[in-house]
Protein backbone atom coordinates (compact mmCIF):
# COMPACT_ATOMS: atom_id res chain seq x y z
CA UNK A 1 0.00 0.00 0.00
CA UNK A 2 1.20 3.49 -0.75
CA UNK A 3 2.41 5.41 2.30
CA UNK A 4 0.81 8.52 3.78
CA UNK A 5 -2.51 8.17 1.95
CA UNK A 6 -5.12 10.70 2.98
CA UNK A 7 -8.15 9.01 4.54
CA UNK A 8 -11.50 10.09 3.10
CA UNK A 9 -15.10 9.19 3.86
CA UNK A 10 -17.74 7.93 1.44
CA UNK A 11 -19.02 11.41 0.52
CA UNK A 12 -15.49 12.63 -0.17
CA UNK A 13 -14.81 9.47 -2.20
CA UNK A 14 -17.84 10.11 -4.40
CA UNK A 15 -16.78 13.73 -4.93
CA UNK A 16 -13.28 12.55 -5.82
CA UNK A 17 -14.56 9.92 -8.26
CA UNK A 18 -16.85 12.49 -9.86
CA UNK A 19 -13.84 14.67 -10.59
CA UNK A 20 -11.78 11.77 -11.97
CA UNK A 21 -14.63 10.67 -14.25
CA UNK A 22 -15.07 14.20 -15.60
CA UNK A 23 -11.31 14.55 -16.02
CA UNK A 24 -11.08 11.17 -17.77
CA UNK A 25 -13.60 12.36 -20.34
CA UNK A 26 -11.41 15.40 -20.91
CA UNK A 27 -8.34 13.17 -21.35
CA UNK A 28 -10.12 10.84 -23.77
CA UNK A 29 -11.18 13.78 -25.93
CA UNK A 30 -7.47 14.59 -26.23
CA UNK A 31 -6.63 11.01 -27.16
CA UNK A 32 -5.01 10.32 -23.78
CA UNK A 33 -5.51 7.31 -21.52
CA UNK A 34 -7.92 7.78 -18.59
CA UNK A 35 -6.78 7.47 -14.98
CA UNK A 36 -7.56 4.41 -12.83
CA UNK A 37 -8.45 4.72 -9.14
CA UNK A 38 -7.64 2.25 -6.37
CA UNK A 39 -9.82 2.43 -3.25
CA UNK A 40 -8.13 0.82 -0.24
CA UNK A 41 -10.14 0.03 2.88
CA UNK A 42 -10.92 -2.47 5.59
CA UNK A 43 -13.31 -5.30 4.81
CA UNK A 44 -16.98 -4.36 5.05
CA UNK A 45 -16.39 -0.62 5.16
CA UNK A 46 -18.55 0.05 2.10
CA UNK A 47 -16.05 0.39 -0.76
CA UNK A 48 -18.07 -1.60 -3.28
CA UNK A 49 -21.49 -0.23 -2.32
CA UNK A 50 -20.20 3.35 -2.59
CA UNK A 51 -18.93 2.74 -6.12
CA UNK A 52 -22.17 1.01 -7.17
CA UNK A 53 -24.14 3.99 -5.86
CA UNK A 54 -21.77 6.32 -7.68
CA UNK A 55 -22.42 4.53 -10.99
CA UNK A 56 -26.19 4.89 -10.49
CA UNK A 57 -25.91 8.59 -9.67
CA UNK A 58 -23.76 9.16 -12.77
CA UNK A 59 -26.15 7.06 -14.90
CA UNK A 60 -23.25 4.86 -15.98
CA UNK A 61 -23.21 1.20 -16.97
CA UNK A 62 -21.64 -0.93 -14.27
CA UNK A 63 -19.62 -4.14 -14.37
CA UNK A 64 -18.19 -5.74 -11.23
CA UNK A 65 -15.56 -8.44 -11.48
CA UNK A 66 -14.33 -10.11 -8.31
CA UNK A 67 -10.83 -11.08 -9.39
CA UNK A 68 -10.35 -13.37 -6.40
CA UNK A 69 -13.24 -15.55 -7.60
CA UNK A 70 -12.25 -15.86 -11.28
CA UNK A 71 -10.54 -19.16 -12.11
CA UNK A 72 -9.91 -18.89 -15.85
CA UNK A 73 -7.80 -16.03 -17.20
CA UNK A 74 -9.97 -16.06 -20.32
CA UNK A 75 -12.99 -15.05 -18.24
CA UNK A 76 -11.14 -11.83 -17.48
CA UNK A 77 -9.42 -10.91 -20.73
CA UNK A 78 -11.23 -13.03 -23.33
CA UNK A 79 -10.17 -16.18 -25.15
CA UNK A 80 -7.72 -16.42 -28.06
CA UNK A 81 -9.17 -16.67 -31.54
CA UNK A 82 -7.66 -16.87 -35.01
CA UNK A 83 -8.36 -13.98 -37.37
CA UNK A 84 -7.92 -13.69 -41.13
CA UNK A 85 -7.30 -10.57 -43.17
CA UNK A 86 -9.77 -10.09 -46.02
CA UNK A 87 -10.04 -7.43 -48.70
CA UNK A 88 -12.81 -5.87 -50.79
CA UNK A 89 -12.38 -2.88 -53.12
CA UNK A 90 -8.90 -2.26 -51.75
CA UNK A 91 -10.21 -2.06 -48.17
CA UNK A 92 -8.70 -4.58 -45.74
CA UNK A 93 -10.14 -5.82 -42.46
CA UNK A 94 -9.56 -8.59 -39.93
CA UNK A 95 -12.38 -11.09 -39.33
CA UNK A 96 -12.74 -13.91 -36.82
CA UNK A 97 -12.32 -17.44 -38.14
CA UNK A 98 -15.99 -18.34 -37.59
CA UNK A 99 -17.02 -15.43 -39.86
CA UNK A 100 -14.37 -16.00 -42.52
CA UNK A 101 -16.55 -18.07 -44.89
CA UNK A 102 -19.42 -15.57 -44.63
CA UNK A 103 -17.13 -12.73 -45.72
CA UNK A 104 -15.93 -14.80 -48.70
CA UNK A 105 -19.58 -15.28 -49.73
CA UNK A 106 -20.02 -11.50 -49.60
CA UNK A 107 -17.27 -11.06 -52.19
CA UNK A 108 -14.25 -10.51 -49.95
CA UNK A 109 -11.07 -12.42 -50.74
CA UNK A 110 -8.31 -13.51 -48.40
CA UNK A 111 -4.97 -11.69 -48.43
CA UNK A 112 -3.32 -14.83 -47.03
CA UNK A 113 -2.46 -13.19 -43.69
CA UNK A 114 -3.72 -14.50 -40.37
CA UNK A 115 -3.04 -13.82 -36.68
CA UNK A 116 -3.97 -14.94 -33.18
CA UNK A 117 -6.10 -12.40 -31.36
CA UNK A 118 -8.43 -12.19 -28.34
CA UNK A 119 -12.18 -11.85 -28.51
CA UNK A 120 -13.81 -9.44 -26.03
CA UNK A 121 -14.82 -11.23 -22.80
CA UNK A 122 -18.49 -11.79 -22.11
CA UNK A 123 -18.65 -9.15 -19.37
CA UNK A 124 -17.90 -6.29 -21.79
CA UNK A 125 -19.29 -7.66 -25.06
CA UNK A 126 -22.14 -5.49 -26.33
CA UNK A 127 -21.77 -2.86 -23.60
CA UNK A 128 -22.62 0.71 -24.56
CA UNK A 129 -20.58 3.87 -24.11
CA UNK A 130 -20.17 5.13 -20.54
CA UNK A 131 -19.56 2.87 -17.58
CA UNK A 132 -17.54 1.87 -14.54
CA UNK A 133 -15.51 -1.35 -14.47
CA UNK A 134 -15.00 -2.34 -10.84
CA UNK A 135 -12.21 -4.84 -10.25
CA UNK A 136 -13.18 -5.87 -6.74
CA UNK A 137 -10.67 -7.21 -4.19
CA UNK A 138 -8.05 -7.06 -6.89
CA UNK A 139 -5.06 -7.57 -4.57
CA UNK A 140 -6.61 -10.79 -3.24
CA UNK A 141 -6.45 -12.35 -6.72
CA UNK A 142 -3.87 -14.73 -8.10
CA UNK A 143 -0.76 -12.95 -9.39
CA UNK A 144 -1.64 -14.02 -12.96
CA UNK A 145 -4.81 -11.94 -12.85
CA UNK A 146 -3.06 -8.97 -11.27
CA UNK A 147 -0.54 -9.00 -14.12
CA UNK A 148 -3.27 -9.44 -16.74
CA UNK A 149 -5.17 -6.32 -15.70
CA UNK A 150 -2.08 -4.10 -15.98
CA UNK A 151 -2.65 -3.50 -19.69
CA UNK A 152 -6.31 -2.70 -19.01
CA UNK A 153 -5.26 -0.22 -16.32
CA UNK A 154 -2.66 1.36 -18.59
CA UNK A 155 -4.61 1.81 -21.82
CA UNK A 156 -8.08 0.34 -21.23
CA UNK A 157 -7.40 -2.36 -23.80
CA UNK A 158 -6.17 -5.92 -24.00
CA UNK A 159 -4.27 -6.85 -27.18
CA UNK A 160 -7.12 -6.75 -29.71
CA UNK A 161 -10.12 -5.35 -27.84
CA UNK A 162 -10.77 -2.05 -26.10
CA UNK A 163 -13.18 -0.82 -23.46
CA UNK A 164 -15.95 1.36 -24.92
CA UNK A 165 -15.52 5.13 -24.73
CA UNK A 166 -16.18 6.86 -21.41
CA UNK A 167 -15.49 3.78 -19.31
CA UNK A 168 -13.59 4.18 -16.04
CA UNK A 169 -11.69 1.53 -14.08
CA UNK A 170 -11.88 1.42 -10.28
CA UNK A 171 -9.96 -1.07 -8.14
CA UNK A 172 -10.83 -2.02 -4.57
CA UNK A 173 -8.27 -3.51 -2.23
CA UNK A 174 -7.72 -4.49 1.39
CA UNK A 175 -4.76 -3.00 3.25
CA UNK A 176 -1.47 -4.86 2.87
CA UNK A 177 -0.85 -4.72 6.64
CA UNK A 178 -0.69 -8.38 7.58
CA UNK A 179 -4.36 -8.65 8.54
CA UNK A 180 -5.52 -9.81 5.11
CA UNK A 181 -4.48 -12.55 2.70
CA UNK A 182 -3.44 -10.23 -0.13
CA UNK A 183 -0.67 -10.01 -2.69
CA UNK A 184 1.74 -7.12 -2.39
CA UNK A 185 1.67 -4.69 -5.30
CA UNK A 186 5.11 -3.65 -6.51
CA UNK A 187 6.15 -0.08 -7.29
CA UNK A 188 5.89 -0.57 -11.05
CA UNK A 189 2.22 -1.44 -10.60
CA UNK A 190 1.49 1.27 -8.02
CA UNK A 191 2.52 4.01 -10.43
CA UNK A 192 -0.26 3.04 -12.84
CA UNK A 193 -3.14 4.33 -10.69
CA UNK A 194 -4.11 6.80 -7.97
CA UNK A 195 -4.79 5.32 -4.53
CA UNK A 196 -7.11 6.64 -1.83
CA UNK A 197 -7.81 5.29 1.65
CA UNK A 198 -11.48 4.92 2.63
CA UNK A 199 -12.37 5.40 6.30
CA UNK A 200 -15.60 4.71 8.15
CA UNK A 201 -17.64 7.79 8.94
CA UNK A 202 -20.67 7.49 11.21
CA UNK A 203 -22.50 10.43 9.65
CA UNK A 204 -22.04 9.04 6.14
CA UNK A 205 -23.28 5.65 7.34
CA UNK A 206 -26.30 7.26 8.99
CA UNK A 207 -27.19 9.02 5.72
CA UNK A 208 -26.83 5.76 3.81
CA UNK A 209 -28.90 3.93 6.44
CA UNK A 210 -31.72 6.49 6.14
CA UNK A 211 -31.71 6.13 2.35
CA UNK A 212 -31.80 2.33 2.60
CA UNK A 213 -34.51 2.05 5.25
CA UNK A 214 -32.34 0.64 8.01
CA UNK A 215 -34.40 0.38 11.21
CA UNK A 216 -34.46 3.83 12.83
CA UNK A 217 -33.97 2.36 16.31
CA UNK A 218 -30.74 0.83 15.11
CA UNK A 219 -29.56 4.04 13.44
CA UNK A 220 -30.04 5.83 16.76
CA UNK A 221 -27.94 3.23 18.55
CA UNK A 222 -24.97 3.50 16.24
CA UNK A 223 -25.08 7.30 16.20
CA UNK A 224 -24.87 7.18 19.98
CA UNK A 225 -22.12 4.52 19.99
CA UNK A 226 -19.86 5.16 16.97
CA UNK A 227 -16.80 3.79 18.79
CA UNK A 228 -18.25 0.28 18.41
CA UNK A 229 -17.30 0.22 14.72
CA UNK A 230 -13.94 -1.55 14.52
CA UNK A 231 -11.96 -3.68 12.09
CA UNK A 232 -13.57 -6.82 13.54
CA UNK A 233 -17.06 -5.35 13.90
CA UNK A 234 -17.38 -3.47 10.63
CA UNK A 235 -20.30 -1.66 9.06
CA UNK A 236 -21.20 -4.69 6.93
CA UNK A 237 -21.67 -6.98 9.95
CA UNK A 238 -23.48 -4.21 11.83
CA UNK A 239 -25.91 -3.62 8.97
CA UNK A 240 -26.50 -7.38 8.73
CA UNK A 241 -27.31 -7.50 12.45
CA UNK A 242 -29.69 -4.55 12.17
CA UNK A 243 -31.47 -6.04 9.15
CA UNK A 244 -31.80 -9.37 10.98
CA UNK A 245 -33.82 -7.79 13.80
CA UNK A 246 -35.71 -5.12 11.86
CA UNK A 247 -38.94 -7.17 11.70
CA UNK A 248 -39.14 -7.34 15.51
CA UNK A 249 -41.76 -4.83 16.60
CA UNK A 250 -40.87 -4.83 20.30
CA UNK A 251 -37.17 -5.15 21.04
CA UNK A 252 -37.95 -5.19 24.76
CA UNK A 253 -39.99 -8.40 24.43
CA UNK A 254 -37.36 -10.17 22.29
CA UNK A 255 -34.11 -9.55 24.17
CA UNK A 256 -32.91 -13.20 24.26
CA UNK A 257 -33.42 -13.54 20.49
CA UNK A 258 -31.71 -10.21 19.78
CA UNK A 259 -28.79 -11.18 22.03
CA UNK A 260 -28.38 -14.50 20.20
CA UNK A 261 -28.47 -12.87 16.76
CA UNK A 262 -26.07 -10.19 17.93
CA UNK A 263 -23.47 -12.56 19.35
CA UNK A 264 -23.50 -14.46 16.06
CA UNK A 265 -22.92 -11.35 13.97
CA UNK A 266 -21.40 -8.44 15.89
CA UNK A 267 -20.09 -10.15 19.03
CA UNK A 268 -20.95 -10.07 22.75
CA UNK A 269 -19.73 -6.54 23.57
CA UNK A 270 -21.81 -4.91 20.84
CA UNK A 271 -24.81 -7.09 21.73
CA UNK A 272 -24.59 -6.29 25.44
CA UNK A 273 -24.47 -2.54 24.79
CA UNK A 274 -27.41 -2.87 22.40
CA UNK A 275 -29.35 -4.73 25.13
CA UNK A 276 -28.52 -1.92 27.58
CA UNK A 277 -29.74 0.57 24.98
CA UNK A 278 -33.08 -1.28 24.91
CA UNK A 279 -33.31 -1.59 28.71
CA UNK A 280 -32.85 2.18 28.96
CA UNK A 281 -35.76 2.52 26.52
CA UNK A 282 -33.62 4.49 24.08
CA UNK A 283 -35.05 2.39 21.25
CA UNK A 284 -38.31 4.24 21.84
CA UNK A 285 -36.94 7.66 20.90
CA UNK A 286 -39.40 9.47 18.63
CA UNK A 287 -38.71 8.95 14.94
CA UNK A 288 -38.04 11.82 12.49
CA UNK A 289 -41.17 10.84 10.58
CA UNK A 290 -43.30 11.25 13.70
CA UNK A 291 -41.59 14.54 14.55
CA UNK A 292 -43.01 16.00 11.34
CA UNK A 293 -46.31 14.15 11.14
CA UNK A 294 -47.70 14.02 14.66
CA UNK A 295 -49.42 16.74 16.71
CA UNK A 296 -47.15 19.70 17.43
CA UNK A 297 -47.90 19.84 21.16
CA UNK A 298 -47.20 16.13 21.56
CA UNK A 299 -43.96 16.31 19.54
CA UNK A 300 -42.60 19.34 21.41
CA UNK A 301 -43.42 17.79 24.77
CA UNK A 302 -41.83 14.49 23.77
CA UNK A 303 -38.65 16.12 22.48
CA UNK A 304 -38.27 18.22 25.63
CA UNK A 305 -38.74 15.21 27.88
CA UNK A 306 -36.14 13.00 26.14
CA UNK A 307 -33.55 15.70 25.42
CA UNK A 308 -33.83 17.39 28.81
CA UNK A 309 -32.46 20.74 29.91
CA UNK A 310 -29.66 22.29 31.96
CA UNK A 311 -27.88 19.61 34.05
CA UNK A 312 -30.19 16.91 32.66
CA UNK A 313 -29.52 17.83 29.03
CA UNK A 314 -28.72 14.73 26.92
CA UNK A 315 -26.25 15.97 24.32
CA UNK A 316 -25.96 12.48 22.81
CA UNK A 317 -29.71 12.24 22.20
CA UNK A 318 -29.87 15.81 20.89
CA UNK A 319 -27.03 15.16 18.44
CA UNK A 320 -28.60 11.88 17.31
CA UNK A 321 -32.02 13.42 16.75
CA UNK A 322 -30.64 16.40 14.84
CA UNK A 323 -28.65 14.08 12.55
CA UNK A 324 -31.71 11.91 11.96
CA UNK A 325 -33.84 14.99 11.17
CA UNK A 326 -31.31 16.27 8.62
CA UNK A 327 -31.00 12.91 6.88
CA UNK A 328 -34.71 12.18 6.96
CA UNK A 329 -35.60 15.53 5.39
CA UNK A 330 -32.90 15.13 2.75
CA UNK A 331 -34.29 11.75 1.69
CA UNK A 332 -37.89 12.98 1.96
CA UNK A 333 -37.25 16.10 -0.14
CA UNK A 334 -35.63 14.03 -2.89
CA UNK A 335 -38.96 12.28 -3.44
CA UNK A 336 -41.64 14.72 -2.26
CA UNK A 337 -42.70 18.33 -2.24
CA UNK A 338 -41.78 20.07 1.01
CA UNK A 339 -44.89 21.61 2.55
CA UNK A 340 -45.03 24.78 4.65
CA UNK A 341 -45.96 22.66 7.68
CA UNK A 342 -42.55 21.01 7.52
CA UNK A 343 -40.76 24.38 7.54
CA UNK A 344 -42.98 25.50 10.41
CA UNK A 345 -42.08 22.40 12.43
CA UNK A 346 -38.36 23.02 11.95
CA UNK A 347 -38.89 26.61 13.06
CA UNK A 348 -40.83 25.47 16.14
CA UNK A 349 -38.05 23.11 17.21
CA UNK A 350 -35.55 25.95 16.97
CA UNK A 351 -37.81 28.46 18.71
CA UNK A 352 -38.49 26.12 21.63
CA UNK A 353 -34.71 25.83 22.18
CA UNK A 354 -34.89 22.05 22.43
CA UNK A 355 -31.35 21.79 21.04
CA UNK A 356 -28.34 23.96 21.83
CA UNK A 357 -27.55 26.86 19.50
CA UNK A 358 -24.64 25.06 17.83
CA UNK A 359 -26.76 21.98 17.09
CA UNK A 360 -29.57 24.18 15.73
CA UNK A 361 -27.08 26.02 13.54
CA UNK A 362 -25.66 22.82 12.05
CA UNK A 363 -29.10 21.26 11.64
CA UNK A 364 -30.74 24.24 9.92
CA UNK A 365 -27.77 24.95 7.67
CA UNK A 366 -27.52 21.28 6.63
CA UNK A 367 -31.23 20.97 5.86
CA UNK A 368 -31.14 24.13 3.73
CA UNK A 369 -27.87 23.42 1.92
CA UNK A 370 -28.74 19.79 1.15
CA UNK A 371 -31.62 20.88 -1.05
CA UNK A 372 -31.86 24.64 -1.44
CA UNK A 373 -34.55 24.41 -4.11
CA UNK A 374 -36.95 22.45 -1.91
CA UNK A 375 -36.20 24.39 1.28
CA UNK A 376 -35.81 27.90 -0.18
CA UNK A 377 -38.76 29.22 1.87
CA UNK A 378 -36.73 28.67 5.04
CA UNK A 379 -35.12 32.07 4.45
CA UNK A 380 -38.57 33.65 4.88
CA UNK A 381 -38.82 32.35 8.46
CA UNK A 382 -37.40 34.73 11.06
CA UNK A 383 -36.39 31.87 13.37
CA UNK A 384 -34.46 30.06 10.66
CA UNK A 385 -32.96 32.80 8.51
CA UNK A 386 -30.54 33.89 11.24
CA UNK A 387 -28.96 30.43 11.13
CA UNK A 388 -28.92 30.23 7.33
CA UNK A 389 -27.44 33.67 6.77
CA UNK A 390 -25.05 33.61 9.72
DSSP string covering 149-176, please?
HHHHHHHSEETTEEPPTTEEEEEEE---
User: What's the average model confidence in pLDDT over 102-121?
Assistant: 86
What per-residue confidence (pLDDT) applies to 162?
83
What per-residue confidence (pLDDT) applies to 64?
93
Higher pLDDT, 123 or 62: 62
Q: Which residues pair with 81 in a beta bridge?
A: 117
Task: Choose among 181, 41, 288: nearest CA to 51.
Answer: 41
Q: How far apart are CA 39 and CA 137, in angstroms?
A: 10
Predicted confidence (pLDDT) at residue 27 exceeds the cutoff of 50: yes
What per-residue confidence (pLDDT) applies to 67?
85
What per-residue confidence (pLDDT) applies to 226?
93
What per-residue confidence (pLDDT) applies to 15?
94
Confidence bin at 3 (pLDDT 50/70/90)? low
Predicted confidence (pLDDT) at residue 33 exceeds the cutoff of 50: yes
Q: How far apart are CA 9 and CA 204, in angstroms?
A: 7
CATH number given to 7-75+122-198 = 3.40.50.300
Which tens digit of pLDDT belongs to each residue from 312-349? 999 999 999 999 999 999 999 999 999 999 999 999 99
Which tens digit of pLDDT belongs to each residue from 57-86? 899 999 999 988 888 887 887 777 888 899
Confidence bin at 2 (pLDDT 50/70/90)? very low
Range name among 96-110, 174-188, 373-387 with the lowest pLDDT average: 174-188
Cα→Cα distances 314→26, 203, 354, 375, Å = 51, 19, 11, 28
Q: How far apart are CA 340 and CA 378, in angstroms?
A: 9
- Pairing state between β 109-118 and 161-162: unpaired
User: What's the average model confidence in pLDDT over 45-51?
Assistant: 91
Q: How far apart are CA 73 and CA 62, in angstroms?
A: 21
What per-residue confidence (pLDDT) applies to 1?
44
Q: Are 48 and 237 in contact (CB under 8 A)?
A: no
User: What's the average model confidence in pLDDT over 205-218?
Assistant: 94
What pTM value is reported for the model?
Answer: 0.81
Which strands form 91-96's sheet, in the order they lie side by side?
Answer: 91-96, 80-88, 109-118
Which tens digit of pLDDT belongs to each residue from 138-165? 999 888 888 888 888 888 877 777 888 9
Amino acid sequence: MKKDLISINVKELKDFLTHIIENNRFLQEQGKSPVTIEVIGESGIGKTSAIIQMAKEQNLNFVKLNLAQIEEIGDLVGFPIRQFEVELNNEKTWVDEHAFDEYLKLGYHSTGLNRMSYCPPEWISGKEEGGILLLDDWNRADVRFIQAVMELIDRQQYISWTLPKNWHIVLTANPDNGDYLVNSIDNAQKTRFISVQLKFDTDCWAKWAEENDIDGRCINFLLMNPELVTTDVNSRSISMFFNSISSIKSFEESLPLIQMIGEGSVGPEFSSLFTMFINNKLDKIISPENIFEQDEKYVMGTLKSIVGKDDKYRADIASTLSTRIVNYLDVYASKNKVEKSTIDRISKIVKEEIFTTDICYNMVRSIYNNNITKFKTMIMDKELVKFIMK
